[in-house]
Amino acid sequence: MERLKLLTVSALTLGASLSAGAAQAQQGELTLCWAAWDPANALVELSKDFEAQSGIKMNFEFVPWPNFADRMLNELNSGGTLCDLLIGDSQWIGGAAENGQYIKLNDFFEANGISMDDFLPATVTGYAEWPKGTPNYWALPAYADVVGWTYRKDWFSRPELQAEFKAKYGYDLGVPEDLAQLKDIAQFFQGREIDGKTVYGAAIYTERGSEGITMGVTNALYNYGFDYGNPENPYAELDGWVNSPGAVAGLEYYKELYDTATPPGASDWYMSETIDAYKSGQVALQMNFAFIWPGVDADPNVGGDKSGYFANPPGPAGQYAQLGGQGISVVANTDNMEGALAYIKWFAQPEIQQRWTDMGGASAMKFVLEDPAYPDRKPYNRAFLKSMSIVKDFWAEPAYADLLLAMQDRIHRYVVAGEGTAQEALDGLVKDWTEIFEDEGKL
């Protein structure tokens, strides 16, 4: 098997290097826009190969996550010409597709033998399709990501803590089997003295400004029974789904987790703050997108054997995890369409996808992820595969920003500011969303 793969790779490389001669003619520059985070640096390294092959000079514009949506949607809406290629967030696709800001890639995929069947189905739906569930592709899955958990293996394996935990909760301290156990564990560590330092339970998303708290709370909501409406009748029937008794319980769960098991001052935290808290040894558990796992593994303080990884644990209504990740799209305003498409063609090659994952990216290609050697290659790969199989995403409607901001507001007010009840928060959300869909003419 391994040999077969090697053969394929070398054959493909040969093919690529042959076709490179033709691509050499396309000179010029390309600017690729993405978020400023570790995977982006890996992409810069990876793209050197493309530059060498095509003679096109790559420029990069990376914006940190809290400002990413603001900056990039502003860029698209202002008719800017900064980006030729955009690795845009999964939820933007509806708006960008309907307003002609992205190029439709179906014909291009067909002409170049790129098949969406080669990618994980969840990522194709999440990153490439609009409308969802139809074979209309506006992006190539570029970076597979999902919310999961990191925990301090070294703390979990201390005998005295294990004994104390067993005595208190009646089961063994380990990877939580469900969300209720996760809360127990977080509360167990909250305020505990470890190696002379006060530590806390869990670092979770609570950010207000962009999308943070929504990306966090959904991991509890989904698993307790929240849904984005009746799947049979998606826009009209929100009541009873968004604010179902299960959804209310899930929201209450998240608030209790925030109130009883997070570090003080964790009221506006997203990816960077949670990483900071975890790496500085403040917390036992960390919720975060899987992109941080390579960084955690390599960290001098908490890396290697000190950390373990697991998928978002199930709740009473099932096991889901919030989808992250992005597809790569060609911006309609580009002045180098050929070059941009050549980049996507190059990027879609299996061996480039393999290198992408090896260098710290996260390919969504089956060729990479379904390789039997993959699960054991890195300590977090199993958790990643499990997580990718249970993903669920937020709305990707053109009105996604309205929907998101309404949710940010309602959830942050309840969870962090402590206003009202969970039922009121979700009832309010149903009202907000219904209004938005009315404005959109969906009702």
Partner 1 sequence: MPKPVIERVAKATPASFARRVRGFSDRTIAWIFVTPTIFLLLAINIFPLIWTIRLSFTNFRVNRINADVKFVGLRNYERILSDPDIWQTMQATAHFLFWTLFFQVLIGFALAWLINRKFRGNDLWTTLIVLPMMLSPAVVGNFWRFLYQPQIGLFNYVVGFFTGADPASFSMIGDVSLAPWAIVIVDTWMWTPFVMLICLAGLRSIPDYLYEAAAVDRASKWRQFWTITVPMILPFLMLAVLFRGIENFKMFDLVVQLTGGGPGSTTELTSINLKREAFEKWRTGYASAYAVILFVTVFGLASIYVKALNRVKER
Partner 2 sequence: MSAFSITEPTRRQKWIAGILVALYALITVMPLVWIVMTGFKTGPDSIAYPPKVVFSPSLEGYVNLFTTQTRLTPEQIETLPPPETWYDRLVREREKTIVGPSRFGQRFLNSVVIGFGSTFLSVFLGTLAAYAFSRFKVPLKDDLLFFILSTRMMPPIAAAIPIFLMFRTLGLSDTRLGMILLYTAVNLSLAVWLLKGFIDEIPREYEEAALIDGYTRFQAFYKVVLPQAATGIASTAIFCLIFAWNEYAFAVLLTSGNAQTAPPFIPTIIGVGGLDWPAVAAGATLFLLPVMIFTIVLRKHLLRGITFGAVRK
Enumerate binding residues for partner 2 (CB under 8 A). 31, 33, 36-38, 41-42, 44-45, 61, 63-64, 66-67, 70-71, 74-75, 78-80, 82-83, 272-273, 275-276, 279-280, 292, 295, 298, 300, 360
Q: How many residues bind partner 1 (CB under 8 A)?
A: 30
CA dist 50 to 17, 173, 272, 435, Å?
11, 48, 30, 47
Residue 412 sits in the site that holds partner 1 (CB under 8 A): yes
- Segment 95-114, which members bind partner 1 (CB under 8 A)? 95, 98-100
**Other Cβ atoms closer than 10 A to 131:** 12
Q: Which does 67 bind (CB under 5 to 8 A by kind): partner 2, partner 1, none?
A: partner 2
Q: How far is the CB of 103 from partner 2 (least distance, A)?
A: 20
Q: Hey, what are 75's tokens?
A: 């860029």
DSSP string, 117-164: GGB-HHHIIIIIBSSTTSS-BS-EEEE--BEEEEEEHHHHT-HHHHHH
**Residue 300 binding: pick among partner 2, partner 1, none (C-beta 5-8 Å cut-off by kind):** partner 2
Q: Return the number of the residue (78 or 134) whose C-beta is nearest partner 2.
A: 78
Helix segments in 148-307, DSSP class H: 153-156, 159-169, 179-189, 212-224, 245-261, 271-279, 293-298
Using only C-alpha atoms, what is the Rg of the chain? 22
Of 417, 438, 442, 443, which one interacts with partner 1 (CB under 8 A)?
A: 417
- Which does residue 82 touch among partner 1, partner 2, none (CB within 5 to 8 A, set by kind)? partner 2
* Contact criterion met (CB below 8 Å) for 210 and 401: no
Within a 13 Å sphere around the CA of 22, how many CA atoms are in the beta-carbon half? 7
Binding track over 187-226 against partner 1, x by CB under 8 A: -----------x---------xx-----------------
Cβ atoms of 400 and 95 within 8 Å: the answer is: yes
Question: What does the alpha-carbon distance between residue 299 and residue 293 come to, in Å, rounded to a whole number?
Answer: 10
Structure tokens at 282: 């403040």
Binding mask 261-300 for partner 1 (x = CB under 8 A): ---xxxxx--------------------------------
By the rule CB under 8 A, 352 interacts with partner 1:
no
Site track for partner 1 across 23-42, x = CB under 8 A:
--------------------
Nearest-CA neighbor of 359 among 56, 47, 20, 88?
A: 47
Residue 279 Cβ, how far from partner 1 at the closest point, in Å?
A: 14
Is the peptide bond preceding residue 131 cis, with omega within 30 degrees of 0?
yes
Q: Is 164 in the site for partner 1 (CB under 8 A)?
A: no
For residue 381, the minimal CB distance to partner 2 (Å) is: 16
Shortest approach of partner 2 to residue 299 CB, angstroms? 8
260 binds partner 1 (CB under 8 A): no
Contact 422, 244 (CB under 8 A): no
Q: Could you please report the per-residue DSSP string of 17-52? A: HHHHHHHTT--SEEEEEEESSHHHHHHHHHHHHHHH
Q: Is the CB of 35 or the CB of 182 nearer to partner 2?
A: 35
Q: Which residue number, 113 or 265, has a Cβ lying nearer to partner 1?
A: 265
- Residue count (the chain): 443
Q: Does the protein bind partner 1 through residue 438 (CB under 8 A)?
A: no
Phi/psi of residue 191, each to 5°? 75, 5
Per CB under 8 A, 409 contacts partner 1: yes
**Cβ 409 to partner 1, closest distance in Å?**
6
- Closest separation between CB of residue 339 and partner 1, Å? 25
Among 74, 106, 115, 233, binds partner 1 (CB under 8 A): 74
Q: Among residues 107, 172, 419, 438, which is the contact residue for partner 1, using CB under 8 A? A: 419
Q: Answer with the entry of partner 1, partner 2, none that 401 interacts with (C-beta below 5 to 8 A by kind).
A: partner 1
Quote the CA–CA distance of 439 and 399 in Å, as a whole number.
Answer: 10
Under DSSP, the state recorded for 332 is T
Cα separation, 194 vs 183, whole angstroms: 19
| DSSP bridge pairs for 148 | 288, 311
What is the CB neighbour count within 10 angstroms for residue 325? 26
- In the complex with partner 1, the residue whose CB is nearer, 74 or 81, is 74
Residue 431 binding result from partner 1, partner 2, none, given CB thresholds of 5 to 8 Å by partner type: none
Q: Does 413 bind partner 1 (CB under 8 A)?
A: yes
Q: Which of 73, 238, 257, 396 binds partner 1 (CB under 8 A)?
A: 73
The residues binding partner 1 (CB under 8 A) are 69-70, 73-74, 76-77, 95, 98-100, 198, 208-209, 264-268, 398, 401-402, 405, 409, 412-414, 416-419
